[in-house]
Chains A and B, each alone.
Chain A
């Protein structure tokens, strides 16, 4: 049972445009959500997170939106840069950010120059 889903395995965007990566979850107990960026053969790198008490969190070019009623979150990257090309994982947890994370299957983002 996949509790965290990323339905788009890949996304291609032109440099300078907006990248929107989507994530859906099923467990209503999740109260903290994170986005990670991962290059091949490397560990994930934390990007941005959001608590369930918020519906938006922004950090530079990265913004995460949370829609609790729809159990949906999205990561917006604007403007997209070629260096953003990587696999992006959303993750969810309950009971605090250091608790065990449930990861989605990832979306491969390719930003074309």
Chain B
């Protein structure tokens, strides 16, 4: 079964609205989770590292005020795309590292379309 649950799978929203994406670790606790973004025909690009109990670490070029990350518990991280614009349309994927064997598990992804 799935180790990481990501919701929603797809979302269509109007420009200017905010969208929240959830990433849940189902089998183990995780102090760290990663958020990636993939544009069509491009590679997955790391956006930020979500840290439980502290602020997220953002990659260069990623606006922290636009992509709000909250790692509320050891099994849940959320990514909120605030004031979404059409250029934010992309495939967002979370990943969760399992520390004891250093394996990385990915969510099923969220396809965001901003009209």
> Interface on A for B, CB 8 Å cutoff?
2, 4, 9, 34, 36, 41-46, 89, 96-98, 100-106
| Overall SS of chain A's interface | loop
Query: Main SS of the interface on chain B?
Result: strand
B31 to chain A, nearest CB (A): 11
> What residues of A have a CB within 8 angstroms of the CB of B10 in the complex?
41
21 residue pairs A–B, Cβ–Cβ below 8 Å? A4-B43, A41-B108, A42-B108, A42-B109, A43-B106, A44-B106, A46-B103, A46-B104, A89-B43, A97-B102, A98-B32, A98-B97, A98-B98, A98-B102, A98-B103, A100-B46, A101-B46, A101-B95, A103-B36, A103-B43, A106-B43
Task: Output the nearest chain A residue to B32 by Cβ-Cβ distance.
Answer: A98
Assembled-state Cα–Cα distance A68/B43 (Å): 22
